[in-house]
C-alpha cells in the first residue's frame, strides 16, 4: 500500500528557504530595519537546521552568511521580492520520499510582478540543490501560494474561499474542480473551506496562514477579536463559528485555541496593517512568532508555549515585515527531512 502524505509543519525538518531582501525589492523604504529581522530569523534557523538562501548578490549578505558550509546553501538568482512561502515549492511524501510541487505564482492574482519569483522553484531544482532522491512535479498551469493552505498532516486541508476561488488565479475552474485537484496533488481526504475571516490591509485575498493554523493534527489556533468596535469583530466571529462546526478527516471536531488579534498596527500613511500572531514559523525545537510591541504580545507568547510544549518560543519584532503585509511565515518555506 502506498503511503501518501502532505506533512505538517511540525515534522522533523531538513531546512528552510529564505530569499534575501535587497534595495530593488519592495523592502527599500524599510531596508535597514528589515535586514535586522531577516538576520535574526536566519540565525535562529541556522541554530537548528539548514538554511537555503536565495539572493540577488551574495556579496551584499551580512558577514555571518558570506561563507557556505554544511548548514548554509547560497544561490544567486534574479528575484522580484522575498515571499518564499508563496513561490517556494511545497513538499509531499510519496512512500517516504519527498516530492516537491511547483505551482504557478502570479503575484497574488496579478497584483505585483512575479516573473522571476515564479521561476525560483524549478531553477533551484535544476541546480541540483536538493537531495538526489527528491522529485519535482510541475503544476505550473495551476496558481497556488503556500500561504493559502494549511495541513494537519493526517489528510485534512484548511483554506479560504476568498483566496482559492478569487479572480485572476484559477477563475476558469469551478470550486469542485479546484477541490478535486487539491485532493489529488496533496493526497488530501478532506478540505475545510472558510467563508469568513479577513484582516485589513491583506493583499493576498485572505491567506489562511494569517487567520488559522494547525498546531497538531487535532488542534487549530485561530485569530479572535475581543473588541466589538473593531472592524474585524463580526467577520472573525463568523469564522470562529465555522471552525466550531468543522471536523477533521474522520469527522471529529477540533480542539480550538483562540489567539488575540493585536491592537491595530498602522503604516506611515495611517493605513491599518494585517498584523497577526498566527503567521509563525515552526522549526525543529522552536517556533518563531511575530510580535508588534503591543499589549497582546505577552498573551500570544504564553499561548504558543502551551501549544508547542518542548519547543522554544522565539518572538521576533515584525512591524518592519508587516509594513509589506506579511510576517515570519510569509517570508519562509520549510522542507521536511530528506529534502536538503
Which pLDDT band holds residue 329 (cuts at 50, 70, 90)?
A: very high
DSSP 8-state symbol, 29: G
pLDDT tens, position by position, 116-138:
999 999 999 999 999 999 999 99
Q: What is the pLDDT of residue 210?
A: 98
Q: What is the pLDDT of residue 117?
A: 98
Average pLDDT, the chain: 96
Which pLDDT band holds residue 264 (cuts at 50, 70, 90)?
A: very high
pLDDT tens, position by position, 164-202:
999 899 999 999 999 999 999 999 999 999 999 999 999
Q: What is the pLDDT of residue 3?
A: 83
Is the pLDDT at 2 greater than 60, yes or no? no
* Residue in 37, 65, 27, 14 with CA at minimum distance from that of residue 338: 14
Sequence ranges of the domains in the chain: 4-336
Range list of β-strands (E), the chain: 4-5, 13-19, 50-55, 72-76, 90-94, 97-104, 135-143, 150-151, 156-160, 190-194, 212-216, 219-224, 255-260, 281-283, 286-291, 312-317, 332-336
Q: What is the pLDDT of residue 67?
A: 83
pLDDT tens, position by position, 216-252:
999 999 999 999 999 999 999 999 999 999 999 999 9
Q: In a 3-state reduction of DSSP, which class is residue 243?
A: helix
pLDDT tens, position by position, 290-301:
999 999 999 999
Calculate mean pLDDT across residues 34-57: 98
Q: What is the pLDDT of residue 51?
A: 98
Q: What is the pLDDT of residue 1?
A: 40
User: What are phi and psi for residue 147, nearest 5 degrees?
Assistant: -70, -10
CATH architecture, domain defined by 4-336: 5-stranded Propeller (3.75)
Amino acid at each position: 500500500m502506498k503511503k501518501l502524505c502532505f506533512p505538517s509543519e511540525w515534522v522533523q525538518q531538513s531546512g528552510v528557504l529564505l530569499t534575501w531582501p535587497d534595495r530593488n525589492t519592495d523592502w527599500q523604504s524599510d531596508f535597514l530595519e528589515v535586514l535586522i529581522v531577516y538576520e535574526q530569523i536566519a540565525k535562529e534557523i541556522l541554530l537548528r537546521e539548514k538554511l537555503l538562501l536565495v539572493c540577488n548578490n551574495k556579496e551584499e549578505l551580512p558577514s555571518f552568511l558570506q561563507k557556505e558550509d554544511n548548514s548554509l546553501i547560497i544561490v544567486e538568482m534574479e528575484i522580484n521580492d522575498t515571499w518564499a512561502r508563496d513561490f517556494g515549492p511545497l513538499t509531499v511524501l510519496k512512500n517516504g520520499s519527498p516530492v516537491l510541487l511547483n505551482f504557478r505564482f502570479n503575484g497574488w492574482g496579478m497584483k505585483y510582478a512575479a516573473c522571476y519569483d515564479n521561476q525560483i522553484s524549478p531553477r533551484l531544482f535544476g541546480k541540483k540543490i536538493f537531495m538526489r532522491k527528491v522529485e519535482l512535479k510541475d503544476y505550473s498551469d495551476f496558481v497556488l501560494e503556500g500561504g493559502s493552505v494549511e495541513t494537519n498532516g493526517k489528510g485534512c486541508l484548511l483554506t479560504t474561499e476568498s483566496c482559492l476561488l478569487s479572480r485572476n488565479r484559477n477563475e476558469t475552474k469551478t470550486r469542485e474542480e479546484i477541490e478535486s485537484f487539491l485532493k489529488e496533488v496533496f493526497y488530501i481526504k478532506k478540505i475545510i473551506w472558510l467563508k469568513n475571516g479577513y484582516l485589513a490591509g491583506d493583499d493576498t485575498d485572505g491567506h489562511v496562514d494569517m487567520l488559522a493554523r494547525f498546531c497538531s493534527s487535532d488542534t487549530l489556533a485561530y485569530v479572535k477579536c475581543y473588541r466589538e468596535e473593531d472592524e474585524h469583530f463580526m467577520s472573525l466571529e463568523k469564522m470562529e463559528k465555522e471552525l466550531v462546526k468543522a471536523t477533521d478527516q474522520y469527522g471529529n471536531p477540533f480542539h480550538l485555541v483562540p489567539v488575540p488579534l493585536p491592537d491595530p498596527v498602522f503604516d506611515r500613511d495611517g493605513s491599518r496593517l494585517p498584523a497577526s500572531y498566527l503567521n509563525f514559523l515552526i522549526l525543529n525545537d522552536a517556533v518563531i512568532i511575530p510580535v508588534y510591541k503591543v499589549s497582546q504580545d505577552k498573551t500570544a507568547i504564553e499561548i504558543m508555549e502551551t501549544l508547542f510544549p518542548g519547543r522554544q518560543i522565539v518572538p521576533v519584532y515584525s512591524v518592519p515585515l508587516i509594513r509589506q503585509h506579511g510576517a515570519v511565515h510569509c517570508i519562509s518555506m520549510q522542507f521536511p527531512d530528506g529534502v536538503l
